[in-house]
Amino acid sequence: MECERCHERPATVHLTEIINNQKRTMRLCEQCAREVQAESLGFLPQMNLHSFLASLLHNEFGAPAFGQAVVPERARCSACGITEAQFAKRGLLGCADCYHNFGDRLEPVLRRIHGTNRHTGKVPRRTGGKVRVASQIERLKAKLREAISREEFEQAAQLRDKIRELEKQL
């Protein structure tokens, strides 16, 4: 018989737990038995990120909004078919289009996780196109401001020329 917990190793241990007068018997392998016992002694494994996020999302997605009695049925991604409730349960979106289709509902979640909702990092070379150039210009402008504040005008002039060059590409 395989272990009920990992479904990988053979079950060699019968573990009986009594919690609030409820008896429960588990057939486990040695390793899982040790882990389960450690848990029941209060050494909880670190919280899994997904389950944590899922409970966070549950407030935003799964539960009715403030002042509303029921969850509106509307929300389902038209591309992959995943529902808001499914997303809230697992913490995983179904496809790239979910970001668009759940857009307004995701916004506060992203803000809570990252403190922002705007990407400022790398842009793919081939498909990024103009976005890539625009973000490069943004970065150069930041450098330009720094150079001016340090009164390094020669460098500032070089940066200004580079920015003008790039702006022609837009």
Partner 1 sequence: MALKEILNEARSRWMDGQGTDSDIVISSRIRVARNLTNLPFPHLLNQEQAERVIYAVKAAVEKRSLKEKIGVLELTRLNELTPVERQILVEKHLISPDLLEDYQKKAVVLRDDEVISIMINEEDHLRIQCLLPGLQLKEAWELIDRLDDELEAALDYAFDERLGYLTACPTNVGTGLRASVMLHLPGLVLVKQIKNVLSAVAKLGLTVRGLYGEGTEASGNLFQVSNQVTLGLTEEDIITNLLSVTRQLIAQERSARAALLKESREQLEDRVGRAYGLLKHSRLMSSEEAMRLFSDLRLGIDMGLIKKIPSSLVNELIVLTRPAFLMKTLGKDLTPFERDVYRSQLIRKKLSAAQQM
Q: Which stretch binds partner 1 (CB under 8 A): 14-22, 65-73, 120-128, 145-153?
A: 120-128
| Smaller CB separation from partner 1, 110 or 157 | 110
Name residue, tokens 């573990």: 15
Each residue 36-75 as x (binds partner 1 by CB under 8 A) or -, in order, gives -------x-xxxxxx--x----------------------
For residue 91, state whether it binds partner 1 (rule: CB under 8 A). Answer: yes
Considering only the stretches 20-28, 114-122, 145-153, 161-169, report the one whose residues sit in contact with partner 1 under the rule CB under 8 A.
114-122
Cα–Cα distances in angstroms (integers) from residue 83 to residues 90, 147, 149, in the given order: 11, 50, 51
C-alpha span between 30 and 9 (Å, rounded): 9
Q: Is 85 in the site for partner 1 (CB under 8 A)?
A: no
Coil, helix or strand at residue 17: strand
- Among residues 63, 65, 110, 157, the one that binds partner 1 under rule CB under 8 A: 110
- Cβ closer to partner 1: 1 or 18? 1
Which is closer to partner 1, CB of 119 or CB of 153? 119
Q: Give the amino acid at 10.
A: P
**Residue 6, interface with partner 1 (CB under 8 A)?**
no
Alpha-carbon gap, residue 55 to 63, rounded angstroms: 10
Q: Report the greatest alpha carbon distance in the chain.
A: 80
List Cα–Cα distances, 8 to 1, 28, 160, in angstroms.
10, 10, 62
